[in-house]
Amino acid sequence: MHTLPFDTVLIANRGEIAVRIIKTLRKLGLRSAIVYHEVDAQTPAIAMADVAIEVSARTPIAAYLDIAQIIAAARKANAGALHPGYGFLSENAQFARAVIQAGMAFIGPTPETIELMGDKIRARNFVQRNGFPVAPSAIEEDDPATFVSKARAIGAPLLVKPSAGGGGKGMRIVRDLDTLEDAIDLSRSEGQRYFGDGRLYVERYVEDPRHIEVQVLGDAFGNVVHLFERECSVQRRFQKIIEESPSPALSPELRERICETAVGIARAANYQNAGTVEFIFGRGEFYFLEMNTRLQVEHPVTEMVTGIDLVAQQIYAAAGRELDFSQSAIVSDGHAIEVRLYAEAPERGYVPTTGKVLLLEYPHGVRIDSGILQGQHITTAFDPMLAKIISHAPTRMDAVTKSHRAVQELVLLGCETNAGFLARILADEAFLGGQFHTGYLEQNPHIAAGNTSDGLSAFLASAALLTRAVRDSADAVPELHAAIGSWRN
C-alpha cells in the first residue's frame, strides 16, 4: 500500500514518456489517468492507463497545450496530482499554478522557480549574482540602445539566442561581426514566431564545446543532491541524439566541481523536485547554460548508473516527502548510453518521415523506452522521436558495443528511421575515442550521408518486388493505355 496523499495521477503528455510514467505509477500502487488526442487513441500509453480522457483542438499539439481541458480532465479522473512529462506544458508556470489552484499537486518545481529558471535572461542573471560561472554576454533588455555595441565589444564568435527559447530554435552563431545585425534580426523573428517573445541576448560562443548537464533533486526541506552528469554533445541542429553518463571528457576533479556547482545553483533557487542544470564546457572551463525545470528526455542514463527511479522521486517530492538518501549514498556504477530513435532521414537533411509500422522488433538485453506499436501510423503531428534505446555496461567501450549491436538488431519496417545513422556514429573513431563536441556531426557530414554504394537500395527493391502487391502494381497497365488496344506506331 502506498502512503501518498493522492491515489491517482493524471499524465498531461503522450508517447514514450507517458508509458514511462505509468510504469512507475503501477510500481507505487497508484492509478494512472491520461489525456489524449484522437490521433493517439491506439497508442500504448492509452491502453496502459487506468483512465483515458479525450481532449480536442484544431491541431493535435494544441490539444496537449489546452490548460482548461487538461484541468477539467484531471477533475473528471479525480486526480490528486498531475505529471506534465517533458515538452508541452511541462515548463509553463501558468499551468503549474492552475494545477495547484485546482487542488492538485504539480509534479515539478514551484511556479515561481519555473518562472525564474525558465527565462534564460533571468536565470543567467540569477546565477551570476550568486557567484556561479557564466559566459561573457550582453542582454538586450538591460539597455536596448547599446545592445549591439556591447555585443561587438565581447568579440566574435558570438551566440545569439532568444530569451524564452529552447531546443535550439532561434540560435545563430556569429563568427563575422559584420553579420551580427542580420543574425539578431533572424533570431528575433524566430523567437517571436516560436515563443511569442522576441527578446534576445548574446554570449561568448565557445568553439567546439561539450554540452554537459547535471541531474539534481530537491525537496521542500532544503535538501538538494546531484545524481552526477550526462554528456549530451552529440547533437544535430542543437538537438540531442546520443547521451551518456559519465562524461568521457571530465576528470574526477572537474566532475566534482561541475556537479557541486549545479547543486549550488539549485539550492540558491530553492529548487524542489527533479531538474537539470546545463553547462557549456571547453578547455577545462565550464559556464552555466540554462536550467530545465522538468524531467529530461535522457533521464534513463542517470537511472541506469545510479539505480534511482527519477519519476518516483518526482512523485515523492510533490507529495511533500523528504529525500531519503544523502549525497554520499548516491553512487555511479558503470556506464550508460542512450540513443534516440527518430522517424527521420539523416541522409536527406534530417527530414521527418511517415508511414505505418508494418513490423516492429526491439533488441533484447537493453532498456527500451517506447511509445509506439506495430500497426501504428507515424505522422508529422508530433516530435519525430519514436523510442529510446538505453544500454548499461561496466565500461564505456562495453556500453558502446552493446548500443551498436542493439541499433543493428532493431527491426522497424514501414517508416524510415535514423537507426543506420546511429550505428555509424557509434562506430565512428572520434566517438569511440570520446573526442567529439556539439559541432561534431556538422563537421563530419559523411556520417549523416552514409554509404550510398552498399547495395541497400538494390536489396530493398528486390525484396519489394517479391511481394505480390508491388509486382501487380508494376505490371498493371494504366486504363488510358489499355484503351489503345494493340495499336503500335
Tell me the CATH number at 192: 3.30.1490.20
CB 209 within 8 A of CB 281: yes
How high is the pLDDT of residue 413?
A: 97
Looking at the fold, whether 385 and 330 belong to one and the same domain comes out as yes
Grid coordinates belonging to 448: 549523416
Cα(370)–Cα(386) distance, integer angstroms: 6
* Structural domain includes residue 485: no
Residues facing residue 292 across a β-bridge: 276
* Structural domain includes residue 326: yes
Helix then strand then coil, % of the chain, to nearest 5? 40, 25, 35
Terminal C-alpha separation, the chain: 84
pLDDT tens-digit map of 292-331: 999 999 999 999 999 999 999 999 999 999 999 999 999 9
CB 23 within 8 A of CB 49: no
* Structural domain includes residue 384: yes
3-state secondary structure of 191: helix
CA distances to 27, 397, 403 from 368, in Å: 17, 20, 11
Q: List strands edge to edge, sheet with 210-218.
A: 285-292, 273-282, 210-218, 224-236, 239-245, 335-342, 385-393, 367-370
Looking at the fold, whether 413 and 278 belong to one and the same domain comes out as yes
Looking at the fold, whether 200 and 215 belong to one and the same domain comes out as no
Cα(317)–Cα(314) distance, integer angstroms: 5
Whether the predicted pLDDT of 452 surpasses 60: no
pTM over 0.95: no
Q: Is 367 a catalytic residue?
A: no
How high is the pLDDT of residue 483?
A: 60
Question: Which of 14, 172, 188, 294 is the catalytic position?
Answer: 294
pLDDT tens-digit map of 118-177: 888 899 999 999 999 998 888 887 778 899 999 999 999 999 988 876 667 788 999 999
Half-sphere exposure of 85 toward its Cβ, with a 13 Å CA cutoff?
23
Average pLDDT value over all residues in the chain: 92
How high is the pLDDT of residue 168?
A: 73
* Structural domain includes residue 461: no
CB 220 within 8 A of CB 270: no
Looking at the fold, whether 235 and 280 belong to one and the same domain comes out as yes
Which of the four pLDDT bands, split at 50, 70 and 90, describes residue 488?
Answer: low
Which of residues 194 and 423 earns the better pLDDT score? Answer: 423
Looking at the fold, whether 244 and 261 belong to one and the same domain comes out as yes
| Per-residue DSSP letter, 81 | E
Cα(300)–Cα(20) distance, integer angstroms: 10
- Neighbouring C-beta atoms of residue 156, cutoff 10 Å: 16
pLDDT tens-digit map of 91-100: 999 999 999 9
* Structural domain includes residue 86: yes
Grid coordinates belonging to 45: 500509453
Domain encompassing residue 73 = 8-107
Whether the predicted pLDDT of 473 surpasses 70: no
* Structural domain includes residue 114: no
* Structural domain includes residue 221: yes
Looking at the fold, whether 94 and 153 belong to one and the same domain comes out as no
User: What residue type is assigned to position 71 of the chain?
Assistant: I
* Structural domain includes residue 103: yes
Average pLDDT over residues 21-42: 97
Tell me which of 204, 231, 248 is where a domain ends. Answer: 204
Looking at the fold, whether 191 and 75 belong to one and the same domain comes out as no
| Per-residue DSSP letter, 39 | G
As a residue count, the chain comes to: 489
Which of the four pLDDT bands, split at 50, 70 and 90, describes residue 1?
Answer: very low
Cα(366)–Cα(336) distance, integer angstroms: 10
| β-pairing verdict for 8-11 and 81-83 | parallel
Whether the predicted pLDDT of 359 surpasses 90: yes
Looking at the fold, whether 219 and 169 belong to one and the same domain comes out as no
Looking at the fold, whether 278 and 405 belong to one and the same domain comes out as yes
pLDDT tens-digit map of 204-241: 888 899 999 999 999 999 999 999 999 999 999 889 99
Looking at the fold, whether 141 and 43 belong to one and the same domain comes out as no
Tell me how many degrees the CA angle 462-464-469 measures, rounded to the nearest 5: 140
List the alpha helices (DSSP H) in 119-236: 120-129, 147-154, 180-195
Q: Is the dihedral of CA 158, 266, 263, 328 positive or negative?
A: negative
Average pLDDT over residues 3-18: 97
Percent of the chain with pLDDT over 90: 80
Tell me the CATH number at 70: 3.40.50.20
How high is the pLDDT of residue 170?
A: 86
Looking at the fold, whether 369 and 419 belong to one and the same domain comes out as yes
Whether the predicted pLDDT of 439 surpasses 80: yes
Instruction: Report the domain count for the chain.
Output: 3
Tell me the CATH number at 367: 3.30.470.20
Looking at the fold, whether 281 and 416 belong to one and the same domain comes out as yes
pLDDT tens-digit map of 390-425: 999 999 999 999 999 999 999 999 999 999 999 999
